[in-house]
Chains A and B, each alone.
Chain A
Amino acid sequence: MNAWFADPTTLVLGAITGLVFGFLLQKGGVTSFNVIVNQFRFKDFTVLKVMMTAIIVGGLGIYGMRAMGMDIAMHVKGTELLGNALGGLIFGVGMVLLGYCPGTAVAAIGAGSRHAISGVLGMLIGAGIYAEMYPWAKAHILSVGSIGKVTIPEQIHLSPLVLLVPLAIGAAIVLPRLAGSTRANPDT
């Protein structure tokens, strides 16, 4: 096996996906530091609107295709209650300080953000730090409340579509009432 590269087909598919993903993030305004930080200040709900729409459309499609009998594998990550919660808290603090998450930081570099380069270098160093602390985290954090690759509908014994449809209706009512970004200045 090649120690460096996966097969060319896989790489080309990943590259095309990244190209489209990055294009959409920029057009959506979420490669902007101001848009991301202002989401956490409740001044601009663009991030929430993009994410919730993607989640609802994606969820209806994936569960819908499965309901129609298509053979589509799930990619559910394991629930580790303490790790997910504590990691998420730490992530939120870092995300506000940097002004991007990992994907939007890399996309922002393409869109001209120079300070995002410093952020991505920090992420690479941080990955090295986490690798050193992983045995400790595995023993003391990741093992707490580890309940496997579960989904909310499985846990509460409901059909996923029974959750997604009300979520979609709620989002359609609530999201348009929340503030957006000014269109005139796409960087605001």
Chain B
Amino acid sequence: MTANPVVRLLKTPRWSPYVVGTMLGVLSWITFATMNKALGTSTTMVRATGAAERIVAPAHADNTPYFVKYIGTRAEPNAVVDWQFALVIFLAFGAFIAARLSGKVRAEHIPDLWQRRFGGSRALRYSAAFAGGIILIIGARMAGGCTSGHGLSGGMQLATSGWIFMGAMFAGGVPTALLLYSGLKDKGGAS
């Protein structure tokens, strides 16, 4: 163990949720006060897909109002890669650095909890993840945001939309989790 407390902290695999929550709150003060931005992520998926459509089917993208709303048209484009897009890309790097400092970053194909309930089929896990991704982004865009935009940013601004979203998210997620994982015996003390 190194003696430097900062290095030791950076190498600690898991921080207190209260410390992490506080730092996320402070990060939001900084983005609000100095960048005039609120944390969010799901709009980036729309921008990315809209940009891909602009490349493969430009006329269709120009005629799809939802894409035009964010990235404009070829004639009058808005930048595809904006503040939030850069944020989303660098989320992966930030998490990689955090994981790497804690030790070796190992590839996870099937999480432990999933494996205990649904077995070791990669095809099944990847299919479920894919379907889950489709479903959740349709929900996020219908709601106008996700856990970061509505949950964190909306929640801290006490936005009515954010708190409705969070309640609904649990109302949808809890029965789904209880149904999917019913009958699963948890390992002694593991969670």
Contact = CB atoms under 8 A, between A and B. Distances in A.
A174 interface: no
B94 A22 contact: yes
A31 B67 CA distance: 29
B25 A94 contact: no
Interface residues of B, number: 135
B176 A93 contact: yes
Contact of A26 (B45, B81, B98, B145): B98
A160 B157 CA distance: 8
B174 to A, nearest CB: 5
Contact of B18 (A53, A128, A133): A53
Contact of A11 (B41, B83, B160, B171): B83
A162 to B, nearest CB: 11
Interface string B91-104: 11111111100100
A44 B131 CA distance: 24
Q: Determine the interface band of chain A, counting residues with CB < 8 A from chain B.
A: 35 or more
Contact of B151 (A51, A129, A181): A51
B133 A119 contact: yes
A119 B130 contact: yes
A74 B112 contact: no
A119 to B, nearest CB: 4
B133 A105 contact: yes
A122 B165 contact: no
A52 B23 CA distance: 12
Given A75-B32, A91-B172, A122-B129, A33 B111 contact: yes
A82 to B, nearest CB: 9
Contacts, number: 548
The interface residues of chain A, by DSSP majority, are classed as helix
Among B30, B64, B88, B95, find the residue whose CB has the most chain A CB atoms closer than 10 A.
Answer: B95
Interface string B146-160: 111111111111111
A88 B165 contact: yes
Contacts of B78: 1
Contacts of A137: 142
Given A59-B157, A94-B137, A101-B148, A24 B89 contact: no
Contact of B135 (A18, A43, A97): A97
Given A89-B171, A102-B147, A180-B17, A62 B139 contact: no
Interface in A91-114: 91-99, 101-114
Given A70-B33, A130-B138, A133-B138, 8 more contacts: A85-B165, A88-B172, A95-B132, A103-B88, A103-B148, A115-B111, A115-B129, A124-B49
12 contacts: A6-B81, A57-B22, A58-B152, A73-B32, A93-B176, A96-B172, A96-B177, A111-B98, A115-B108, A118-B129, A123-B137, A127-B48
